[in-house]
């Protein structure tokens, strides 16, 4: 048997196996190591599609501009240091024009060159206030979505992955909070904590994580049946790394889509609370709070000229931002092709 | 699982949900400093500490929170939601008086939404990727993005102050069933229905466009059915499934919307009452309205699930 092929592998002698033959035989699929390197990830592909979406890019541009305007509206000082020295807004948002000697403006002045959006019922420059007002709404929107998405992600992933009793209990909690319609729980929380910046964040983050948890749980339930999850478990990966390294990355697209659209919803909600007089303290240059101040005048009819500018501009700013945010959200949705999580079923505060 | 058992199971699960809702609300409201009684004490110099204690005892506002909760719960189970402290009215009678106003408003908005959205959605789907479709998509996106309170203010500004078609508020408030009230329902109704209309329109368009690509449509066309019949008899029926479900779910957003819209238009419904209750810390009223809307939301969601299952026989309930 001297012509029989054999291979030596350490101390094991393999007979009847020719490595040359394996190397030369036809491959079972088209896969080669090079092609594997060229495959784009899901996120790269989504980004490429997103870049081609003109509507979404316009939205991104508008959001960026509004954010920059809000940041550079007035100088920002932190702990005595001026972090941001620029000042795009001509006046301080709280300056009452007729109190300052160099201005002749009164209350409810119509738009002029020196006050492009007119003045409000207290004689403050509306243009400065609208620019500055973005700081509240926009930053609260992003913070709330960040907080609730993070918490909802962990919560939903745990619930979906472990199933059984854990899932049952965690989901009953979710169902309970879900039974509060939109703004009601936020209203109760703000009534409890009082108005203010972080109170508003809490008011929207506390009911906000629910949808993320439900979304992620649903995704995890399907993803955990995949073979690669079983493979990871078989290789001895710990639960934590199975969940966060293997399952969660694949559950991200619907979460990102919902998160983008959610920013707009939160911004409307914050403004709605401001409008109801429960958000920031009265007089704050927050978009919704500004509308609250002009509503009475509008309803009673001021006798004479109607100060439409005091209603049109702050509300228009909210509308513009939310619209742009939703355009981005739609674009992200198309890019991921995750049709099951659209904008539908929310909106309108 | 049969549909009956599914419904029964879901109905039973409402009980713990409502219990949870009541506990959360009760705890939050009781964490809030101040209530109508302490306001009375602060504004009325004749009220002594003894009077205050007596009033608290009368309204069940003394003792630890859990005890107060149990008392409240016991009363609610016998159908007694307590009194509005500042006015002495029965909470249930306040709700019964306000509810028709909110229902009228919500119903108007909901019907407005469906009437506008379904034909527009169909039209957009048939003319997919043409100008009409692009325009309607843009309009729908605006409808979702517009804050309802601002829309209401703008409608007042345009309809009442500039065009002077409406007076801002009905001249002297007429009873709700007066035919003229229908006219005054238009502005708040549009305000509350716009977001719903926009959502339904988008879903209608998407699901219809999806159905139009299916093979049975080609088959129907191939056998020579007129296009009108293909759309109305075959495609519309299938694409309405998701719309009907969404319409049931949207009642929740209409309920939430009514809070803000009623404040904008001074509409004397439950939503405005809720805001007043929050401002005055009327605990019983806050509790009752929250529970009431909670029941409503849970039932609406259940209805959506049932409709979905009934309309699409492929759906299995678990």
Quote the pLDDT of residue B213: 85
Nearest to B253 among A277, A306, A348 (CB): A348
Asked whether the beta carbons of residue A181 and residue B150 sit closer than 8 angstroms, the reply is no
Give bridge partners of residue A6 from the DSSP assignment. A15
Look at A79 and B264; give whichever has higher pLDDT: B264
Indicate the pLDDT class of residue A125, thresholds 50, 70 and 90: confident
Asked whether the beta carbons of residue B21 and residue A179 sit closer than 8 angstroms, the reply is yes
Answer whether residue A7 shows pLDDT above 70. Answer: no
Asked whether the beta carbons of residue B28 and residue A326 sit closer than 8 angstroms, the reply is no
Asked whether the beta carbons of residue B260 and residue A275 sit closer than 8 angstroms, the reply is yes
Quote the pLDDT of residue A106: 65
Read off the pLDDT of residues A251-273 as tens digits, 9 standing for 90 and up. Answer: 888 898 899 989 999 999 999 99
Q: What is the mean pLDDT of residues B219-246?
A: 85
Quote the pLDDT of residue A146: 95
Identify from B35, B156, B260 which residue to disrupt to test chain A contact, counting A C-beta atoms within 10 A and taking the largest count: B260
Asked whether the beta carbons of residue A330 and residue B141 sit closer than 8 angstroms, the reply is yes
Burial of A341 (0-12, 13-18, 19+ CB in 10 A): buried
Read off the pLDDT of residues B282-310 as tens digits, 9 standing for 90 and up. Answer: 888 888 898 888 888 888 888 888 887 77
Look at B51 and B152; give whichever has higher pLDDT: B152
Percent of chain B with pLDDT over 70: 89
Asked whether the beta carbons of residue A345 and residue B293 sit closer than 8 angstroms, the reply is no
Indicate the pLDDT class of residue B60, thresholds 50, 70 and 90: low
For residue A185, which residues of chain B lie inside 8 Å, CB to CB? 24
CA distance A123 to chain B (A): 21
Asked whether the beta carbons of residue A349 and residue B275 sit closer than 8 angstroms, the reply is no
CB A224 within 8 A of CB A160: yes
Complex prediction ipTM: 0.85
Query: What chain A residue is nearest to B205 in terms of C-alpha separation?
Result: A344
Look at A73 and A227; give whichever has higher pLDDT: A227
Indicate the pLDDT class of residue B85, thresholds 50, 70 and 90: confident
Closest CA to B105 of B186, B194, B224: B186
Least confident of A88-97, A209-218, B249-258: A88-97
Asked whether the beta carbons of residue A175 and residue B24 sit closer than 8 angstroms, the reply is no
Give me the helices (H) in chain A, please. Answer: 19-24, 33-38, 42-52, 54-71, 126-162, 164-178, 182-193, 197-223, 227-234, 239-241, 248-275, 287-300, 308-336
Quote the pLDDT of residue A343: 45
Instruction: Quote the mean pLDDT of chain A.
Output: 80
Answer whether residue A347 shows pLDDT above 50. Answer: no
Residue-wise DSSP of A244-293: IIIIHHHHHHHHHHHHHHHHHHHHHHHHHHHHTT-SSPTT---HHHHHHH
Quote the pLDDT of residue A202: 92
Read off the pLDDT of residues A285-307 as tens digits, 9 standing for 90 and up. Answer: 888 888 887 777 776 655 556 77
Residue-wise DSSP of B154-201: HHIIIIIIIS-SS-SS-SSPPPTTSHHHHHHHHHHHHHHHHHHHHHHH
For residue A178, which residues of chain B lie inside 8 Å, CB to CB? 297, 301
Read off the pLDDT of residues A304-330 as tens digits, 9 standing for 90 and up. Answer: 567 777 788 888 999 999 999 999 998
For residue A182, which residues of chain B lie inside 8 Å, CB to CB? 252-253, 256-257
Closest CA to A313 of A138, A139, A131: A131
Asked whether the beta carbons of residue B195 and residue A347 sit closer than 8 angstroms, the reply is yes
Instruction: Quote the mean pLDDT of chain B.
Output: 83
Nearest to B145 among A189, A264, A300 (CB): A264
Say how many CB pairs under 8 Å bridge A and B: 186
Read off the pLDDT of residues A43-99 as tens digits, 9 standing for 90 and up. Answer: 888 888 888 888 889 999 999 999 988 888 777 777 777 767 777 767 777 766 666
Indicate the pLDDT class of residue A8, thresholds 50, 70 and 90: low
Indicate the pLDDT class of residue A349, thresholds 50, 70 and 90: very low
Nearest to A306 among B16, B157, B264 (CB): B157
Indicate the pLDDT class of residue A33, thresholds 50, 70 and 90: low
Percent of chain A with pLDDT over 70: 76
Read off the pLDDT of residues B88-111 as tens digits, 9 standing for 90 and up. Answer: 788 888 888 888 888 888 899 989
What is the rounded CA–CA span in Å between residue B148 and residue A63? Answer: 21
CA distance A310 to chain B (A): 11
What is the rounded CA–CA span in Å between residue B262 and residue B268? Answer: 7
What is the rounded CA–CA span in Å between residue A7 and residue B166? Answer: 95
Q: What is the mean pLDDT of residues B6-23?
A: 86
Answer whether residue B32 shows pLDDT above 80. Answer: no
């Amino acid at each position: 048997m001297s012509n029989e092929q054999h291979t030596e592998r350490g101390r094991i002698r393999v007979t009847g196996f020719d490595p040359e033959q394996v190397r030369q035989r036809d491959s079972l699929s088209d896969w080669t190591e090079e092609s594997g390197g060229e495959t784009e990830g899901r996120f790269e592909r989504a980004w490429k599609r997103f870049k081609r979406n003109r509507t979404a890019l316009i939205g991104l541009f508008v959001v960026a501009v509004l954010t920059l305007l809000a940041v550079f509206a007035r100088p920002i000082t932190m702990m005595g240091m001026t972090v941001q020295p620029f000042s795009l807004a001509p006046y301080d948002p709280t300056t009452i024009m007729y109190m300052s000697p160099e201005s002749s403006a009164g209350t409810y002045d119509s738009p002029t060159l020196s006050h492009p959006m007119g003045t409000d019922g207290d004689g403050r420059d509306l243009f400065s206030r609208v620019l500055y007002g973005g700081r509240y709404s926009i930053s609260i929107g992003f913070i709330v979505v960040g907080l609730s998405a993070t918490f909802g992600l962990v919560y939903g992933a745990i619930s979906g992955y472990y199933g059984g009793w854990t899932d049952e209990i965690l989901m009953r909690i979710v169902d309970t909070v879900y039974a509060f319609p939109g703004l009601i729980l936020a209203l109760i929380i703000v009534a409890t904590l009082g108005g203010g910046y972080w109170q508003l964040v809490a008011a929207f983050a506390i009911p906000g994580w629910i949808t993320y948890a439900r979304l992620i749980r649903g995704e995890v339930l399907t993803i955990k049946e995949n073979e690669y999850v079983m493979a990871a478990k078989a290789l001895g990966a710990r639960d934590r790394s199975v969940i966060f390294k293997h399952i969660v990355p694949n559950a991200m697209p619907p979460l990102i889509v919902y998160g983008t659209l959610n920013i707009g919803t939160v911004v409307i909600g914050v403004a709605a609370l401001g409008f109801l007089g429960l958000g920031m303290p009265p007089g704050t240059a927050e978009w919704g709070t500004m509308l609250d101040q002009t509503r009475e005048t509008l309803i009673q009819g001021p006798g004479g000229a109607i100060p439409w500018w005091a209603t049109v501009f702050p509300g228009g700013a909210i509308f513009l931002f939310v619209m742009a945010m939703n355009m981005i959200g739609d674009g992200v949705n198309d890019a991921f092709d995750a049709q099951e999580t659209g904008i539908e079923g929310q909106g309108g505060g | 699982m049969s549909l009956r058992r599914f419904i029964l199971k879901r109905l039973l699960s409402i009980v713990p949900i409502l219990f949870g809702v009541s506990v959360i609300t009760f705890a939050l409201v009781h964490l809030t400093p101040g209530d109508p009684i302490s306001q009375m004490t602060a504004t009325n110099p004749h009220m002594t500490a003894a009077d205050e204690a007596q009033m608290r005892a009368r309204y069940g506002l003394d003792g630890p929170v859990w005890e107060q909760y149990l008392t409240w719960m016991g009363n609610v189970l016998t159908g007694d939601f307590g009194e509005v402290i500042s006015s002495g009215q029965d909470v249930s009678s306040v709700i019964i008086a306000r509810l028709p106003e909110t229902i009228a408003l919500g119903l108007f908005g909901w019907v407005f939404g469906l009437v506008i959205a379904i034909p527009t959605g169909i039209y957009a789907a048939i003319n997919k990727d043409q100008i009409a479709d692009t325009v309607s998509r843009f309009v729908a996106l605006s409808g979702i993005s517009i804050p309802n309170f601002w829309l209401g203010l703008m409608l007042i500004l345009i309809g009442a102050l500039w065009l002077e078609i409406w007076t801002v508020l009905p001249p002297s408030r007429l009873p709700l069933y007066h035919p003229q009230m229908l006219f005054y329902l238009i502005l708040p109704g549009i305000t509350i229905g716009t977001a719903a209309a926009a959502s339904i329109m988008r879903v209608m368009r998407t699901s219809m466009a999806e159905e139009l690509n299916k093979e049975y449509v080609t088959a129907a066309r191939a056998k020579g059915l007129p296009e009108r019949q293909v759309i109305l008899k075959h495609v519309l029926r299938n694409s309405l499934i998701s719309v009907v479900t969404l319409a049931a779910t949207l009642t929740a957003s209409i309920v939430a919307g009514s809070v803000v819209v009623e404040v904008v238009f001074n509409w004397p419904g439950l939503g405005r009452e809720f805001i007043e209750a929050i401002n005055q810390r009327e605990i019983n009223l806050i509790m009752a309205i929250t529970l009431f809307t909670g029941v409503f939301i849970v039932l609406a969601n259940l209805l959506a699930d049932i409709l979905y299952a009934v309309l699409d026989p492929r759906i299995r309930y678990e």
